[in-house]
Amino acid sequence: MRNARHKAEQDLSRVLGFWTEERSLSVMLALLLLHFFVLTPGGFLGRAFHLTGALFLSFALLAGILTLARQTLVRRFGIFLVAGAVAFRTAAVFRDTPWIVLGDTLFTLLSLAALVTVVLVQVSQEGPVSGHRIRGAIALYLLIAILFAFLYGLAEEVAPGAFNIPASLAPGRTARGETFYYFSVVTLTTVGFGDITAVHPIVRSLVMLEALIGQLYPAILIARLVTLQLETRRSGSDRS
């Protein structure tokens, strides 16, 4: 029994060790791209495919939350968040009721906020700028889009009619969640096709905030990465 527990702790340490390395940022980007462009739009292929897409993000969030949590109590709370998200996401696939969708959104939002914090710390920390870190910056950009998509979903659940969405784009709650992914990316990149519009004042504020982040994030990020690279080269020159 004691040996099994020790082995489990060693396996967990290896997982956490990997997610604290820069190469994990490249893996995170690959997972997010798979979630965005394959699993999420592929839900129409069947319930099993949709269930895979629904659970994929929750399991991807688990590694980030475990990395963030340094204390046992905080780590257990993080596991509770992801477990809640998994439970509600599974239930939402089979039973499309408002309180289940609301619970899924709340748990996933909290988990996303934790993962955004983890990736932000890894991308902006001191040290040379590697390809993994640049790919991590792209992953963070996608995470911001996902975070706002769930915020929009929460707003629509709390205040129905907060968005003007054509029926052809979102015939049901599941399709509506995918529509908010689309709307969030369009807003973050400030494309603004206008097929979906925010009606509620608070939601309009969220849309404006995301558009500002979409404009400022690349500029601030590039400035930060360039500064880090210059500092690294300067430090190398001073040593030589």
In sequence order, what DSSP letters do the residues of 150-181 get, joined into one string?
Answer: HHHHHHHHHSTTSEE--TTT-SSHHHHHHHHH
In percent, the amount of the chain with pLDDT more than 90 equals 15
The tens digit of pLDDT for each residue in 88-139 reads 777 776 776 777 777 778 888 887 887 788 778 778 877 777 788 888 888 8
Q: Which residues pair with 197 in a beta bridge?
A: 164
d(CA 140, CA 146): 10
d(CA 125, CA 214): 21
Distances (CA, A) of 117 to 56, 61, 120: 20, 12, 5
Mean pLDDT to the nearest integer, 9-31: 65
pTM of the predicted model, to two decimals? 0.79
Q: What is the pLDDT of residue 10?
A: 60
Q: What is the pLDDT of residue 69?
A: 53
Mean pLDDT to the nearest integer, 21-35: 76
d(CA 25, CA 46): 31
Q: What is the pLDDT of residue 156?
A: 86
Domain ranges of the chain: 11-234
Asked whether residue 209 carries a pLDDT value surpassing 90, the answer given is yes
What is the rounded average pLDDT for all residues in the chain?
76
Instruction: Give me the amino acid identity at 12.
Output: L
Name, in order, each residue with C-beta under 8 angstroms of 22's C-beta and a sequence gap of 6 or more: 122, 130, 132, 133, 136
Asked whether residue 47 carries a pLDDT value surpassing 60, the answer given is no
Mean pLDDT to the nearest integer, 162-178: 70
Q: Please report which confidence band the pLDDT of residue 144 belongs to, taking 50, 70 and 90 as the band edges.
A: very high
